[in-house]
Structure 1
Amino acid sequence: MLSSNLLSALSLLTLPLASAFYLPGTAPRDYHEGEKIDVFVNTLTPMLNSKLHSLISHDYYDDRFHFCQPAGGPVKQPESLGSILFGDRILTSPYEINMMENSTCKSLCQSSVPKEDAKFINDRIKEDYGLNFIIDGLPSSEMKRDLKTNEIFLDAQGFNLGDDETIPDKPALNNHYDIFIQYHTKEGYSSKQYRVVGVLVYPRTVNSMVSGSNSPDCFATQPLYLSEATHNEFYYTYSVSFIPSDIPWGLRWDAYLHVFDPKIHWFSLINSLVIVGFLVFMVAMVLYRTISKDISRYNAIDLSEDVQEDYGWKLVHGEVFRLPPRPMVLSVMVGNGTHLIMMCIVTLLFALFGFLSPSNRGSLATVLLICWTLFGCVSGYVSSRTYSTLGGDQWKPNLILTTILFPIVVFSIIGLLNLFLIFSSASGAVPFGTILAILLLWFLISAPLCVAGYFFGMKHGSFKNPVSTSSIPRQIPPKPWYLNPFPSAVLGGILPFGAAFVELYFVLSSLFGNRAYYAFGFLFLTFTVFVLTTATTTVLFTYFVLCSEEYRWHWRSFLIGGGSAFWLFTYGIWYWASRLSLDSFTSVVLYFGYLFLFTLLDFLIGGSIGYIATYFAIRRLYSSIRVD
């Protein structure tokens, strides 16, 4: 387990140059008539319909479900590191499907479910759990119509374990599956070849047991209800139909990648661009009309006449680069935040060019992990230069904290949440071998790169401040309430959050609702707008802070930049109250644990953007005035 996970994680680093364009695992497969088509099963996951009732996934071959197993037992399929982290557990199945061979009411097996497990299955039906088949790399889906755009699309959430709507509080188990496989014919060969371009599965409940017969009746009208008082015997059956399609293999994912109401995405993006344009205009006006005139008037004064009167931001020129409290922690947070920024940018660029499509399962998480590993040098470099610029001289503790503090916090949170998954017998629990592989990636690659980046930053040294620092600190006059640290962070975070909150809804639905996210173009533009909005908002607020003769801007700039995290967590609480109906304590802990981790990442990213933008704006500002 460990070696395979580590090799899969390092595979992206060692890919040789080749003339083929297909990514690993995405090349088309041609079938001849009668050739076997493998059917794999994935974990059972809760489906996001009107409400999401759970965040716990279950193995398909969990003993409590009593699904039919292949002869010799199920065989686990190799998966990428990211696929494992996202909870995929792909196994073989007993379904026998041959290309172009239709079948009706084919018996899979006769299952026996005791009354104790019947209650477990009925509870999962009430929680809207869905089954997930994988055929030729395509997920099982149902054909649906978008009521707003009237477009036909394939919903790849899977299909329902049972039906809980016919009779309230009396769930029926779906034990028959109508499988429809769309195929595209390849002409021009001596024998016809076929490619799978779509997979649809429609489940239904049918009590197919016939007294005195060993064959099931798939056309019976009586639903199958599992009794929680007695033992249950029933058949699992399926039918297979092949449907011709004009869709070529290269476009087979288009029907799955349906963007719900794209007008919302465009409205959000245009709204964000308007916000950014307004902010940039405001900052430009402040810098050009106010600051430029102040600088010109300030520099025109004859310093020898001793008639210079400082006020506002110019009055604190001897304090603005004073050593802030806890500079080591600040530099560590800026370094790790910049690390995450680079990771997001590179991953989004890969996704933008189509390398992280859903056809390559787990590729998004894998690339995120690889980028996090390789960009450890960025955190070391930025932390080193930030700390030396702030005037810190204890570089050894700073190096150690930069290397281990943030990974330890993240690993601790994820490890604690993983314990809840293990105790709940959830398939999403990360195996020990995978955890060890990630720790080795951090210890053997990321940590050494962080150390190398730190020493490279020490070699470059600190940034030279344009003005010197006075020996005696000035007193700080009273200032408006909204310029205090917490209110300014909350107010400053509104605009960056407002620029991204619509897209955030789709991201949360993807993270917690087991839906694939594929609108990477919108996400990349939204992230760009978020960066610009955060930078301009923080610079503007910091200018107001300096005008009030408050020179302690370092932590304020980081807090204002990271202020969107407060609104993100608030939005997460609203999402939990409006879109989720979690029935177990474990699901609630998992949701708020992941939400807290997501908020922490946003705080570090936004804070780093705000601090870096503010520092260079202040350097530019104070380098424009003459100081005696």
Structure 2
Amino acid sequence: MEVLGERPPAIQRWLLCVMLFLFITSVHSFYLPGVAPQDFVKGDLLKVKVNKLTSTRTQLPYSYYSLPYCKPEKIVDSAENLGEVLRGDRIENSPYVFKMREPQMCNVVCHITLDAKLAKEFKEKIDDEYRVNMILDNLPLVVPYKRPDIDSLVYQHGVPVGLKSHFGESKEEKYFIYNHLTFTVKFHKDEETNAARIVGFEVKPFSAKHEYEGKWDGKKRLTTCDPHAKRTITSSDSPQEVEDKEEIIFTYDVDFKESEVKWASRWDTYLLMADDQIHWFSIVNSLMIVLFLSGMVAMIMLRTLYRDISKYNQLETQEEAQEETGWKLVHGDVFRPPTNSDLLCVYVGTGVQFFGMILVTMIFAALGFLSPSNRGGLMTAMLLLWAFMGLFAGYAAARLYKMFKGTEWKKITLRTAFTFPGIVFAIFFVLNALIWGEKSSGAVPFGTMFALVFLWFGISVPLVFVGSYVGFRKPAIEDPVKTNKIPRQIPEQAWYMNPVFSILIGGILPFGAVFIELFFILTSIWLHQFYYIFGFLLLVLVILIITCAEITVVLCYFQLCSEDYLWWWRSYLTSGSSALYLFLYAAFYFFTKLDITKPVSGVLYFGYMLIASYSFFVLTGTIGFYACFWFTRLIYSSVKID
């Protein structure tokens, strides 16, 4: 066995530098420029920024200027954090510039003439229902519309590129582009200072075939839309068709409306787009059912265990125990190291790392640090926390490895640092190659890929080694009972105690604790809606921990009572099998809720959901394992054994 000395001062200095780096980058990701309120007075310039083109049909984002839209004199990229780049956000300046509280009518942005290639590109984006995303003072652009089933207005993110429709007496469907945008900027005015803050950014798109006299020179007055005659576009009587050699003139109006909504509440409109009442009712309903089931299971287990321990201890004191029965019978084998114990140590350590990341992220989100207004903040925080939690992954893996009488701590450390991230990175790399092949802005650029590799190799891997070093220096965990040299034979088990059956049954309850919330999470990811009830999500995480622990402990107890002492791996797989149900539900969601037609988009969906399910397996499996580990040590240390 290696002799481990004191920690060198160099490691302490390195740890301090890493902690400082993580703190600075975390603060930068939490507090982005533009999140703080900004006051505007009349006449101040308001610069509209453009973001990616998105579609729920393809899930492939594209840069705004991938289509021949009007461009400013110089395109400038806004500063992006790691999370924004991974999400495919490409925020750039635009030629749309307003003056605060000064309405404008029929502003001409630019004039283009389509050729066959450009017309084809527009038609493809219209077929795939792409929407243009814009931002003003950190507020996304929304299109208000009225749904027939509810009284209030509903908002959709972004402007459609165009529409495909019949027009007039034509029987053939034609493509039309939205080339006139009527913006409405809502502001809340401070009566004392006369300054105002922007609290809403809405638009109504129109398709209009603009007309003018003579030859276009950039200064012509439009006959269809004239600010001097106070005439603007109010309907699409003569829409702009998308065809070869068609001239398209892009125009816009802007109006300013005073609003009673305060700056602190301006995101409420965006966050209440989903059916909020259904969300709350579903979560509370699920919560009550799971709590009720958990309470019953806990009560039954406590009463049964108390009776077992009392009976065993009473028989020992009266010297009446002629033959041991039940779970006490296997006390000499229950702590025997499992087969492939190294891999179990690796996955338990990885699960601890993932649990720490999820827990801290949920707490930050519930406190409001990771609101939707902070684009990319959630993903950036998760990646940084993942790297930092490598310290606890190495510690947990090394402690368990030493308990199993392992001696090669560096080997187990390397496997902990590379197994799970390596598999996820390989899947991610293949998916990124597919996105890159589609020339989508969602493809992660080389610089960002290098940053991810640096987080992995430069921070996570060294921290796993430090955690493992510290964990292996500590004394090994002592078993409460001695292990026999010769393993006893396991009797034939009943059909319902078959490992496959009990593992699959064990995953149902943890999945039931989260599947309603899972629907809203999938909707926010794949249908481009905001997710914001992080307080409830934290509560669901607590319920998930309780249900994983209880179902694993119950099934472990039944297994030990039937004299089967191979509980190590089964405890991990019992709660971890809920990941299988998560993936099956993701497949069900794909075929029932999404309208994805491209094969590449389908591969991306199932690839990312495979990563999510794999992560869920590691998280829930570790929770179940530690619950069972604590349970077995507790019950065997509570009875008297010769």
Fold in common (TM above 0.5):
yes
1:33 to 18, 42, 47: 42
1:56 corresponds to: 60
Structure 1 position 475 matched with structure 2 position 484? no
1:90 corresponds to: 91
Please say which of residues 278-287 and 610-619 is displaced more in the overlay. Answer: 278-287
Partner amino acid for 1:126? D
- Map residues 321-332 of structure 1 onto 2, 5 A cutoff: 321-332=335-346
Distance 1:302 1:130, change over 3 A: closer
C-alpha displacement at 1:472, in angstroms? Answer: 1.2
Measured in 1, the distance between the counterparts of 2:618 and 2:123 equals: 43
**Secondary structure of 2:89's partner?**
coil
Distance 1:172 1:318, change over 3 A: same
Distance 1:527 1:16, change over 3 A: closer
1:4 corresponds to: none
2:332 corresponds to: 318
Structure 1 position 604 matched with structure 2 position 618? yes
Distance 1:551 1:67, change over 3 A: same
Q: Deviations over 1:397-450 (max 9, x none)?
A: 101101122221111111111101111000011111011012112222221111
2:440 corresponds to: 426
C-alpha displacement at 1:151, in angstroms? Answer: 4.4
- Map residues 362-377 of structure 1 onto 2, 5 A cutoff: 362-377=376-391
Q: Is this contact kept in 2: 1:377–1:452, CA < 8 A? A: yes
Q: Is this contact kept in 2: 1:265–1:522, CA < 8 A? A: no
C-alpha displacement at 1:127, in angstroms? Answer: 1.6
Distance 1:242 1:588, change over 3 A: same
Distance 1:514 1:10, change over 3 A: farther
Structure 1 position 14 matched with structure 2 position 16? no
1:198 corresponds to: 200
C-alpha displacement at 1:12, in angstroms? Answer: 6.0
2:82 corresponds to: 81
1:69 corresponds to: 71
Structure 1 position 221 matched with structure 2 position 230? no
Measured in 1, the distance between the counterparts of 2:21 and 2:478 equals: 42
Q: Is this contact kept in 2: 1:148–1:261, CA < 8 A? A: no
**Secondary structure of 2:65's partner?**
coil
Partner amino acid for 1:70? P
2:209 corresponds to: 207
Measured in 2, the distance between the counterparts of 1:152 and 1:527 equals: 33
Measured in 1, the distance between the counterparts of 2:614 and 2:295 equals: 30
Distance 1:336 1:460, change over 3 A: same
Structure 1 position 577 matched with structure 2 position 587? no
Structure 1 position 288 matched with structure 2 position 298? no
Quote the sequence identity (%).
40
Measured in 1, the distance between the counterparts of 2:291 and 2:96 equals: 57
Measured in 2, the distance between the counterparts of 1:409 and 1:380 equals: 18
TM-score by length of 1: 0.92
Partner amino acid for 1:201? V
Partner amino acid for 1:117? L
Please say which of residues 79-88 and 308-317 is displaced more in the overlay. Answer: 308-317
1:100 corresponds to: 101
Q: Deviations over 1:444-464 (max 9, x none)?
A: 222111111111111223322
1:268 to 282, 285, 294: 282
Q: CA RMSD in A?
A: 2.4
1:136 corresponds to: 137
1:593 corresponds to: 607
Q: Is this contact kept in 2: 1:496–1:564, CA < 8 A? A: yes
C-alpha displacement at 1:619, in angstroms? Answer: 0.6
Measured in 2, the distance between the counterparts of 1:603 and 1:262 equals: 29
Q: Is this contact kept in 1: 2:26–2:381, CA < 8 A? A: no
Q: Is this contact kept in 2: 1:276–1:529, CA < 8 A? A: yes
Measured in 1, the distance between the counterparts of 2:402 and 2:33 equals: 45
Distance 1:144 1:543, change over 3 A: farther
Q: Is this contact kept in 1: 2:144–2:204, CA < 8 A? A: no
Q: Is this contact kept in 2: 1:343–1:372, CA < 8 A? A: yes
Distance 1:224 1:16, change over 3 A: closer
Please say which of residues 438-447 and 77-86 is displaced more in the overlay. Answer: 438-447
Partner amino acid for 1:202? K
Measured in 1, the distance between the counterparts of 2:291 and 2:431 equals: 41
Distance 1:369 1:302, change over 3 A: closer
Measured in 1, the distance between the counterparts of 2:563 and 2:247 equals: 79
C-alpha displacement at 1:147, in angstroms? Answer: 6.8
Measured in 1, the distance between the counterparts of 2:31 and 2:461 equals: 33
Structure 1 position 514 matched with structure 2 position 528? yes
Q: Is this contact kept in 2: 1:268–1:499, CA < 8 A? A: no
Distance 1:362 1:110, change over 3 A: same
Distance 1:132 1:10, change over 3 A: farther
Measured in 1, the distance between the counterparts of 2:475 and 2:160 equals: 60
Measured in 2, the distance between the counterparts of 1:45 and 1:116 equals: 21
**Secondary structure of 1:38's partner?**
strand
Partner amino acid for 2:513? A
Measured in 2, the distance between the counterparts of 1:149 and 1:394 equals: 65
Partner amino acid for 2:100? M
Q: Is this contact kept in 1: 2:154–2:273, CA < 8 A? A: no
Partner amino acid for 2:37? P
Aligned residues: 606
1:396 to 402, 410, 430: 410
Partner amino acid for 1:13? F
Distance 1:517 1:147, change over 3 A: farther
Gaps of 5+ in 1: 1-6, 47-51
Distance 1:535 1:148, change over 3 A: farther
C-alpha displacement at 1:303, in angstroms? Answer: 7.3
Distance 1:169 1:398, change over 3 A: farther
